[in-house]
């Protein structure tokens, strides 16, 4: 397997023209899809590529001495190299395939985290998704560690002075979202990593909303772990990535046991492979890795900086449009937001609003967005959330604003 060369990005891209590459919009030509933070739509090259792999190349990997298995193994490991390039990791040995970011965080908790004990602390923030809260609570209940939370400011961001003050010699891990899934708040992760490392703590970054929207360089960030899910990056569900520094991964015990993660097995003892294979027990999601490879190449072809610029323009446009709409209240996002916004409309429950918007062919999410503590912080039982992808345009925002006005008339709000 050869190292993946950086793909030359397009000189910007036309989202309207790009829509033609996503068959969902052919089948639903009126659809205004504003729920990419939950899951991105899939381009033809990903859908067709997965189908072609099953039709013409499929076999199990790492185990067969026959040509088809070796070719499938090559495709699978090429996907690992593509992820390495996407994140600018130092080695493919630092890239572990998992079912998604949730499994990646649980893997760290149930492997690396098992070395913790009473008196040790994990530090999270009030911005976190449930997947970056619950695994650490489970570890607390099991091991007696402390779980501390850096609060969110009234403006919806993090007070870095409070963050720095919360760090202590007891802090062993900081688990922090890169981009908040509810508000799109972009956290100052580089500063957080620097402060955490100075205090002797490791850092895990939840990149679920960052990886689809910006260039992520794990070596520049110097984070110890980084996680993201394939389905939010225009790839298939059921595949995700855990990045970890190689020496750190090789010091961690396996999380699950089975085939392919072992060197030798006897009834007396078992020895394990090095990372990444020690964390990939059993037959992996082979087609998922192939699909993720295709999706990340699709993003790199568009250009990660171009995607970020596009989504930043859309976010700024939506902030301006919604902030002037009568009766619309934006959830505070800390003054630096990308790709996602949450809001309420006076007199209309978010679920009712989402139902009306759906009748007008606009897809948004309504609810707690797997961030109940953050919603409670602002006294909100529910919000509507819009989120962008490469296929969205300012006209989609205009359609949303018009549809909100229609809903307000229907509800007399």
Q: Among residues 300, 333, 366, which one ends one of the domains?
A: 300
DSSP SS3 for 159: coil
Quote the CA–CA distance of 36 and 311 in Å, as a whole number. Answer: 11
Q: Are residues 137 and 205 in the same domain?
A: yes
6 in any annotated domain: no
Q: Which residues contact 129 (CB under 8 A, 6 or more apart)?
A: 177, 181, 206, 208, 370, 371
* Domain shared by 178 and 325, yes or no: no
Same structural domain, 200 and 106: yes
Q: Check residue 4 and give its pLDDT.
A: 54
Domain boundary among 300, 335, 360: 300
Asked, for residue 290, whether it belongs to a domain, the answer is yes
Q: How far is the C-alpha of 231 from the C-alpha of 354, rounded, in Å? A: 22
Residues 198 and 84 in one domain: yes
Whether 94 and 218 map to the same domain: the answer is: yes
Cβ atoms of residues 125 and 158 within 8 Å: yes
Q: Is 8 part of any domain?
A: no
Q: Does residue 3 fall inside a structural domain?
A: no
Q: Which helix (H) or strand (E) holds 136?
A: helix 134-143
Note whether 217 and 334 are same-domain residues.
no
Listing DSSP states for 87-101 in one string gives HT-S-GGGEEEESSH
- Report the CATH number that the domain containing residue 270 is assigned in CATH: 3.40.640.10
- Give the pLDDT of residue 128: 98
Facing residues of 271 across strands? 264
Q: Are residues 97 and 228 in the same domain?
A: yes
Structural domains counted in the chain: 2
User: For residues 363 and 351, what is the distance between their CA atoms, to the nearest angstrom?
Assistant: 12
User: Does residue 237 share a domain with residue 103?
Assistant: yes
Is residue 9, in this structure, part of any structural domain at all? no
Same domain, 246 and 335: no
pLDDT for position 408: 97
Burial class of 333 by CB neighbour count within 10 A (0 to 12, 13 to 18, 19+) = buried
pLDDT at 260: 86
Ranges of the chain whose pLDDT falls below 50: 2, 6
223 a catalytic residue? no
pLDDT of residue 105: 98
For the question of whether the overall pTM of this predicted structure is more than 0.85, the answer is: yes
| Same domain for 192 and 76 | yes
Q: For the domain that residue 366 is a member of, what is the CATH number?
A: 3.90.1150.10
Q: What is the pLDDT of residues 163-212, one digit of tens each?
A: 999 999 999 999 999 999 999 999 999 999 999 999 999 999 999 999 99
Determine the 3-state secondary structure of 340 from DSSP. strand
259 and 393 together in one domain: no
Last residue of a domain, one of 282, 300, 318: 300
The pLDDT of residue 22 is: 98
DSSP 337: B
Tell me the C-alpha distance between 283 and 350, whole Å.
42
276 prior amide bond cis, ω within 30: yes
In a domain, 84, yes or no: yes
Contact 252, 112 (CB under 8 A): yes
In a domain, 346, yes or no: yes
Note down the domain range covering 126.
Answer: 51-300
Does residue 203 sit within a domain?
Answer: yes
Q: How far apart are CA 118 and CA 114, in angstroms?
A: 11
**Do both 93 and 136 map to the same domain?**
yes
Strand pairing of 240-244 and 95-98?
Answer: antiparallel
What is the per-residue burial (b if ≥16 Cβ within 10 Å, else e) of 173-208? Answer: bbbbbbbbbbbbbbbbbeebbebbbebebbbbbbbb
Residue 8, pLDDT score? 56
């Amino acid at each position: 397997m050869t190292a993946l060369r950086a793909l030359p990005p397009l000189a910007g891209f036309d989202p309207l023209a790009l829509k033609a590459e996503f068959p969902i919009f052919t089948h639903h030509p009126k659809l205004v899809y504003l729920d990419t933070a939950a899951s991105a739509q899939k381009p033809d090259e990903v859908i067709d590529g997965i189908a072609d792999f099953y039709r013409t190349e499929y076999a199990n990997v790492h185990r067969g001495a026959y040509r088809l298995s070796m070719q499938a193994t090559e495709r699978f490991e090429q996907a690992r190299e593509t992820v390495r390039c996407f994140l600018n990791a130092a080695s493919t040995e630092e890239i572990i395939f998992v079912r998604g970011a949730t499994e990646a965080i649980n893997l760290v908790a149930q492997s690396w985290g098992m070395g913790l004990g009473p008196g040790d602390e994990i530090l999270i923030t009030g911005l976190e998704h449930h997947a970056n809260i619950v695994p650490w609570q489970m570890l607390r209940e099991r091991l007696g560690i402390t779980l501390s939370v850096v609060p969110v400011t009234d403006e919806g961001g993090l007070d870095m002075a409070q963050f720095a003050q919360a760090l202590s010699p007891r802090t062993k891990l900081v688990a922090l979202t890169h981009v908040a899934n509810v508000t799109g708040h972009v956290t100052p992760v580089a500063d957080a990593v620097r402060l955490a490392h100075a205090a002797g703590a490791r850092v895990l970054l939840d990149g679920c909303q960052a990886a689809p929207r910006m260039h992520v360089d794990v070596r520049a960030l110097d984070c110890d772990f980084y996680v993201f899910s394939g389905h939010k990056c225009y790839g298939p569900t059921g595949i995700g990535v855990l990045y970890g520094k190689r020496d750190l991964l090789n010091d961690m015990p396996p999380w699950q046991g089975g085939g392919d993660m072992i060197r030798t097995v006897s009834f007396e003892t078992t020895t394990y492979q090095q990372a990444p294979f020690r964390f990939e027990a059993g037959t992996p999601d082979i087609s998922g890795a192939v699909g993720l490879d295709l999706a990340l190449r699709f993003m790199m072809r568009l250009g990660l900086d171009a995607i970020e610029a596009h989504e930043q323009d859309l976010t700024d446009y939506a902030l301006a449009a919604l902030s002037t709409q009568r009766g619309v209240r934006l959830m505070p996002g800390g003054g630096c937001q990308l790709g996602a916004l949450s809001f309420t409309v006076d007199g209309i429950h978010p679920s009712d609003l989402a139902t009306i918007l759906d009748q007008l062919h606009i897809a948004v999410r309504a609810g707690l967005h797997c961030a109940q503590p953050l919603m409670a912080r602002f006294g909100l039982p529910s919000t509507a959330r819009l989120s962008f992808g490469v296929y969205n345009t300012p006209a989609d925002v205009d359609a949303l604003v018009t549809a909100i006005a229609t809903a307000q008339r229907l509800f007399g709000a």
